[in-house]
Structure 1
Amino acid sequence: MTGAPGAARPEVHAASGKRLGASHPRQEGPTDLRLVPPALAAWATAALTLNAPAGWGVGVMAVALGLGVLLLWVRRLAWPRVSVAAVLLCVAAAAASAGLHGADLRRGPVPELARQYATATAEVELTSDPRLTRPRVIGDRTTRTAVLINAEVRRVQAGGAVAAVTRTPVLMVVDASEGSPWLRLLPSTRLRVNARLAPTLTGGDRTAAVLRVRGGTAPKVVESASAAQRFAGRLRAGLREATDGLPADARALLPGLVVGDTSRITPELDEAFKETDLAHTLAVSGSNLTIILVLLIGPPGTARLVERRGLAPRLGLSLRTTALCGGALTLAFVVVCRPDPSVLRAAACGAVVLLALATGRRRSLVPALATAVLLLVLFDPWLARSYGFVLSVLATGALLMLAPRWSAALRRRGVGPRWAEAVAAAAAAQAVCAPVVVVLSSRVSLVAVPCNLLAEVAVAPATVLGFAALATAPVAMPVAKVLAWCASWPAGWIADIARTGAALPGAGIDWPGSWAGAGLLALLTLAALLVGRRLWRHPWWCGVGALLLVLAVVQPPPLVRVIRGWPPPGWQLVMCDVGQGDAAVLAAGEGAGVVVDAGPDPELVDHCLRTLGITRIPLVVLTHFHADHVAGLPGVLRGRAVGAIETTGHEEPVEQAEFVRRQAAARGVPVTRAVAGERRRTGALSWEVLWPPPSPAPEPEGPNDASVTLLAEMAGMRVLLLGDLEPPAQRALLSSPAGGLLGGVDVLKVAHHGSAYQDPELIRGAAPRLALISAGEGNPYGHPAPGTVAALRAQGAAVLRTDEDGALAVVGEGGELRVAGD
């Protein structure tokens, strides 16, 4: 080949960005997509035929198989018969596999017993780790916790019938709480249980029935777990022990990062990770395996070179031995992290990414991904309906197809290679996965890309150090504790990123959680990409767009106040909209407020306090321990300086009183008891406790009648907050020494969400100018009662309610009184 001096270098060298060109040039052809149609066809077939009648599955399999064989037999067709035949044969295989797996839900005696709600003795084999449910707030109570375990019924006997041998997947629900021996069981353990069977509430998953087991007794073990599961259990227990002395976030997060153990993740931390789209770090993913294998084989494109890197060449391992070690690591990863479908999916997707790192060739990666999808769907057709599987495949596909192109575009515009790759990977994965995530969360995160970029730098060191602690814990616990302590720094960084991102006022926007909403988001994402591609040529417009996005996420209070008019200047009292519950804020200076009750949801009360700009809380008053008043306490404490928590002396329900003490102790906040006659002041705000008296009279009939009642004064305004007092306590309050202070209040926080149980004399005596009612829209209790609203209005009060008017802010000074809604 000849050419003039100075002629243009080959494209592969010019694109390297180096003066001497690429040291290992590689020119690749177009992406090979031939295996993609068969994989997608098998995926769709499995998803559609799992619950189809057996005849439909057999028909689809027979027709697809016949047509496929016919196409391979007839060779005179000019069009791509082999490709179409491959698609049809994959459809036939997927229909056969899905039919066999779907039949597991219909065969045997278990489905019929479930339809009869029968009680039976069953021998079951556990197929997952036990997991403890989180209590939910229903009305003024929280639901009891339970242990959920996936299992297979191997033998069942009901009544006087002969025991039947079967193999039916079920979900076991055990009435148990934290610390239960049921939580220490390992997969592959066989138990004998007495349970009531019930059909599943929703179809479409791999559960034929629900087994309800009373948890009062210890589990009856028929056969211990396998040796592999016992070994994995010791490793996981060792990692938990090694992390026991770490800060709370690192202690909870590290086992999740390493082996997917999320048992210590608190609800607020879990919500922060979901809000920032970092939840994938709490589950075992392909990236975990990739990080460990890269440590073995070295960085991208060097595994097959003489100058290969990683630990393998330093240990003198040949390529073949390195491959065997990689396989052994993959097998150990699957065993330790449990061989359930999510881990198998992670191992397959991690192997695909490993292929990219080992070969440096992108052409071979899409066929490898398609092969992994095809084999996994044929092996376990239920993956075809798994959202986690969809997200894994989409994210991996985005990294293979979109990220390299976007990275190259960024490098052409002067962005450094490392930054270009990181930004392109995070943006591509977010763009492709967001429409699926919105179906699950009904929310679009605006901080996902920057949070993932900031967290990514800590994932690898936390994972590597965490696996090192996992491996050394059984033999050298002090060393494991040191390694876990080192891993706690990057793990804590990831948790801080999640909490900080989630705390931003505009971290996310609500979105329709349906497939129509997902389609709309996909179209808007595509439009944004097309517009952004044109705007990239105009730096000023890009800067303006970035500034607007930052303002939308950060939402500086002065700007928000100008645009939305919320919160109104000079607000004195805000009734937060927290659904069916109570949460009020009394202004106590710039950025400070006294919080009265916390509502049922930490996220709702936290959002209310953030919009008000509250960063300092001298006192939190919890009027009583019902869940609709205290369950949101973690949201009040989140990221704020809290002086103390004051509660009633009537500590019922006991579990909610213990919950408050645990939350306060975890953050070092003292808890005190409110007593009638107590007076306090902070800034221009002063208040007096009117109820309960030191010795309640009459004895409270329940937590409502022991509610802390406050009379607050600020800016010449008198506010009476009654908690959930009911008529007996209301009458006792009127006849108490504090009864003389109740007359002529400006604002009344109506007791018990405006229920029908009110004392007319108290309403007449208070004679409020404004009555505020906190109630949830469409609540099943009929709050507020029409009679209560009518009685208040008959006394001349203006009545406003959060279920209709949203959050309410009272503004006023002296005789002037004005209310603004959010």
Structure 2
Amino acid sequence: MPDLARRFATVTAEVEVTGDPRLSRPRVRGDHTAPVAVLVRAEVRAVEEHGGASARTRTPVLMVVDAEVPAPAGSTEPGGDGDSARASVSAARGTPGGRAAWLGLLPSIRLRVGGRLAPASTGGGDRKAAVLRVRARPEPRIVAGPSRPQRLAGRLRAGLREATDGLPADARALLPGLVVGDTSRITPELDEAFKETDLAHTLAVSGSNLTILLVLLIGPPGLAQLVERRGLAPRLGLSLRATALFAGALTLGFVIVCRPDPSVLRAAVCGAVALLALATGRRRSLVPALATAVLLLVLYDPWLARSYGFLLSVLATGALLVLAPGWSEAMRRHRMSPRLAEALGAAAAAQAVCAPVVAVLSARVSLVAVPCNLLAEAAVAPATVLGFAALATAPVVMPLAKALAWCAGWPAGWIAGVARTGAALPGAEVDWPGNWPGALLLAAVMVIAVLAGRRLLRHPWWCGLLGVLLLLAVVQPVPLARRITGWPPPKWRFAMCDVGQGDATVLAAGQGAGVVVDAGPDPTRVDRCLRQLGITRVPLLVLTHFHADHVAGLPGVLRGRTVAAIETTWLEEPVEQAEFVRREAAERHIPVTRAVAGEERRTGPLSWRVLWPPPAARLHSSARTSPVRPDAVPEPDGPNDASVALLVRTGGLRLLLLGDLEPPGQQALLRSPAAARLARVDVLKVAHHGSAYQVPELIRLAAPRVALISAGVGNPYGHPAPATVAALRAGGAMVMRTDRDGALAVGGEGGVSGELEVTRE
């Protein structure tokens, strides 16, 4: 398989699905989002090269299924299980038919597909020897349905999803992930929040989930062999050995329902070793149980030796067994309450041991991981127990399952709220070298911090002072950050955020308020910028057009802020991005209106006039009746030429914001009645990231004192064009750009003699 992949061979393969299909994360490429595909973990059992030899094998691959690939057809053989397999797709809702069918495939289903192989990426330790991009021809076929245990597990998981349908968005997405590791509803934004706060382990079913269920059955492990044992087992009259057998069956069912992922297998094998010790009456030792689990699992599946998820799972468990008890005892000796000491010791130990590996994977260190884990820990157990109760009752009594899911939704919503709040803090994470030398450096820092922490525990005042300093570093209050960094400047009126290759700008509209023009391509970066500027209220969000580099960051603008209205252009292209904006607005009940040339509005110290685009009716009328008239308005040549252009006044400053207007739109703007208002502006937001396609007459008419360009570092388009920068400077403008200068803020006074202040972040 790797040899075929290196040759990008076209093959026909028989594959067995080994994991839950999932959608790829949407990524912005230029002005569009990359198409979302279905990703399926599978094993190739037989492969035949086009026009070549065939072979039987057992090789893990990642199948990539694009939107145009049809749903796999059922088996045409007598007694085939294609129909039953195809029936399992009902769980995948809200997606096109073919994609929904692929998302509904269960592990153990066998398919015959055609496609092209490609080499697998070497990083991340993923379990795949190649990537198989499935083609529409030959038509994919189901050759064997899922096994009975997987079919039962699929029904249970589908029942849990149905039971959670009526919950709030975060709880609906998170609860199946907490209970059975079903992350199909987790949005990229929520997933990123869990990663930034190091709470991602709650989305991967692990030993903690199984421990909660076993403790519910056998009570505290330390009392499991004693007469005074607790839990449900003694109340049900189960003997010690019957309890072990029952717990073993529970563990097996847990693995089947939650899928045999590395963390689930590690938890199950470790639990099985402990249960064997319980059944034989021998004294248990959890560290040897963990070591045995690791040894058996790596011998059974050597791919786990390359899995970062498995490594983190084992490290965290080892830290809880080896370090956490001693750290908790040390804190109890310094008069900390036992429960708080135990929780803090566990969270700190797991974070200290896992942080170097996390730094390698994400090139950052979370400063809020320990408090966020402490706050979330109390909600994990009730959410898990109630969620499993809903899972078990859904096939029998759905109303009861919905009631249990509603109860579980409260702690699940709390966990999601902790993740979102922690990730939103300005200093939630610190950049760190994402390599093994960086990991060794962080490990050394952790060792020094632990050694210093022992001494600090003897000096409560120093502990309190360091805690306050850490809190200030994480929260970064705007007045304090302004004094230390000079950003944002105290009297800024216009700011251009550094969001990479895209646009996001802000007009100050009073204390904590700002009119936002475009949202950029990245929700995290625009949210960070707005938080640094202290923006909590957005009277109006203007999306100049629907290209992804202007609207994909919309969730970041909406995160934790009051947005009164959204205004857009009338040309709703690309269609998928326009639908995305409408969907995000509808979920938060935000009205969406269309900007029309001539519209004038005011809020706080701001006033502005919409210069472009004219009403759609006028465009179409001009095109029909007078296509050759010099003042006729041309049809927009794509979304860029339908961009909303604004002339803004604030504190004596005049700002011209041109969106992504191309030369035809710029020329039409020059011929419009609004042209007389454009002479000698103070600030020009250069159109289309400073591309080479500019109208020199418009630049000469505007004659800006300052020209600001939003462009990404090393972008493949060559933005800004040297010719555009030269033309702006020749007209007397000071040119500043985000790819070199970072975020920019403008203040001061307008007019020829007024002082204009431009500040870099």
Q: Same fold (TM over 0.5)?
A: yes
Distance 2:377 2:169 in 1: 21
Instruction: Answer whether contact 1:619 1:643 (CA < 8 A) is retained.
Output: yes
Which of 568, 572, 579 aligns to 1:647? It is 568
- Which moves more between the two structures, 167-176 or 790-799? 167-176
Which residue in 2 is equivalent to 1:725?
A: 661
2:39 is paired with a residue whose SS is strand
Which residue in 2 is equivalent to 1:20?
A: none
Which of 254, 266, 269 aligns to 1:333? It is 254
Instruction: Answer whether contact 2:520 2:549 (CA < 8 A) is retained.
Output: yes
Residues 200-211 of structure 1: matches in 2 within 5 Å?
200-202=120-122, 205-211=126-132
Instruction: Answer whether contact 1:297 1:358 (CA < 8 A) is retained.
Output: no
Distance 2:332 2:733 in 1: 66
Which of 404, 408, 414 aligns to 2:325? It is 404
Which residue in 1 is equivalent to 2:685?
A: 749
CA gap 1:274/1:216 in 2 versus in 1, 3 angstroms:
farther
1:366 aligns with 2:254: no
Q: Post-superposition shift, 1:392?
A: 1.1
Distance 2:449 2:282 in 1: 30
Distance 1:361 1:604 in 2: 55
Which residue in 1 is equivalent to 2:728?
A: 792
1:711 is paired with a residue whose SS is strand
Distance 1:800 1:361 in 2: 73
Deviations 1:391-436 (A, max 9, x none): 1111111111111111111111111111111111111111111111
1:804 aligns with 2:740: yes
Deviations 1:631-687 (A, max 9, x none): 100000001000011111111111111111111111111111111011110011011
Distance 1:580 1:388 in 2: 32
Q: Post-superposition shift, 1:530?
A: 1.2
Q: Which amino acid aligns with 2:103?
A: L
Instruction: Answer whether contact 2:427 2:475 (CA < 8 A) is retained.
Output: yes
Which residue in 2 is equivalent to 1:74?
A: none
Distance 2:302 2:239 in 1: 38
Which residue in 2 is equivalent to 1:608?
A: 529
1:145 aligns with 2:45: no
2:222 is paired with a residue whose SS is coil
Which residue in 2 is equivalent to 1:680?
A: 601
- Which moves more between the two structures, 801-810 or 364-373? 364-373
Q: Which amino acid aligns with 1:524?
A: V
Which of 18, 24, 41 aligns to 1:127? It is 18
Which residue in 2 is equivalent to 1:377?
A: 298
Instruction: Answer whether contact 1:235 1:470 (CA < 8 A) is retained.
Output: yes
Which residue in 2 is equivalent to 1:49?
A: none
Distance 2:340 2:34 in 1: 47
- Which moves more between the two structures, 511-520 or 482-491? 511-520
- Which moves more between the two structures, 282-291 or 120-129? 120-129
Instruction: Answer whether contact 1:391 1:436 (CA < 8 A) is retained.
Output: yes
1:114 aligns with 2:53: no
Q: Output the TM-score relative to the length of structure 1.
A: 0.84
1:702 aligns with 2:593: no
Instruction: Answer whether contact 2:364 2:429 (CA < 8 A) is retained.
Output: yes
CA gap 1:359/1:683 in 2 versus in 1, 3 angstroms:
farther
Q: Post-superposition shift, 1:356?
A: 11
Deviations 1:741-761 (A, max 9, x none): 111110000001101110000
Residues 478-627 of structure 1: matches in 2 within 5 Å?
478-627=399-548
Instruction: Answer whether contact 2:645 2:659 (CA < 8 A) is retained.
Output: yes
Q: Post-superposition shift, 1:161?
A: 4.9
Which residue in 2 is equivalent to 1:154?
A: 45
Instruction: Answer whether contact 1:254 1:462 (CA < 8 A) is retained.
Output: yes
Which of 288, 300, 308 aligns to 1:387? It is 308
Q: Post-superposition shift, 1:340?
A: 3.4
Distance 1:216 1:646 in 2: 44
Distance 2:279 2:349 in 1: 22
Deviations 1:505-539 (A, max 9, x none): 11111111111111111111111111121121111
Q: Which amino acid aligns with 1:417?
A: P
Deviations 1:50-108 (A, max 9, x none): xxxxxxxxxxxxxxxxxxxxxxxxxxxxxxxxxxxxxxxxxxxxxxxxxxxxxxxxxxx
Distance 2:263 2:640 in 1: 46
Residues 309-458 of structure 1: matches in 2 within 5 Å?
309-349=230-270, 364-458=285-379
Q: Post-superposition shift, 1:483?
A: 0.3
CA gap 1:206/1:422 in 2 versus in 1, 3 angstroms:
closer
Instruction: Answer whether contact 1:726 1:751 (CA < 8 A) is retained.
Output: yes
1:776 is paired with a residue whose SS is coil
Q: Post-superposition shift, 1:345?
A: 2.1
Residues 38-49 of structure 1: matches in 2 within 5 Å?
none
Which residue in 2 is equivalent to 1:766?
A: 702
Deviations 1:350-376 (A, max 9, x none): 557889999999982222211111111
Which residue in 1 is equivalent to 2:760?
A: 821
Instruction: Answer whether contact 2:198 2:366 (CA < 8 A) is retained.
Output: yes
Task: State which structure, 1 or 2, has the greater radius of gyration over its C-alpha atoms.
Answer: 1
Segments of 5+ residues of structure 1 without an aligned counterpart are: 1-109
Q: Post-superposition shift, 1:282?
A: 0.7
Instruction: Answer whether contact 1:294 1:354 (CA < 8 A) is retained.
Output: no
Over aligned residue pairs, what C-alpha RMSD do you find? 1.9
Instruction: Answer whether contact 1:232 1:335 (CA < 8 A) is retained.
Output: yes
Distance 1:202 1:126 in 2: 22
1:210 is paired with a residue whose SS is strand
Instruction: Answer whether contact 1:652 1:703 (CA < 8 A) is retained.
Output: yes
Q: Which amino acid aligns with 1:722?
A: L
Instruction: Answer whether contact 1:244 1:251 (CA < 8 A) is retained.
Output: yes
Q: Which amino acid aligns with 2:318?
A: G
Distance 1:360 1:664 in 2: 61
Q: Post-superposition shift, 1:554?
A: 1.1
Instruction: Answer whether contact 2:244 2:278 (CA < 8 A) is retained.
Output: no
Which residue in 1 is equivalent to 2:622?
A: none
- Which moves more between the two structures, 152-161 or 443-452? 152-161
Distance 2:546 2:666 in 1: 18
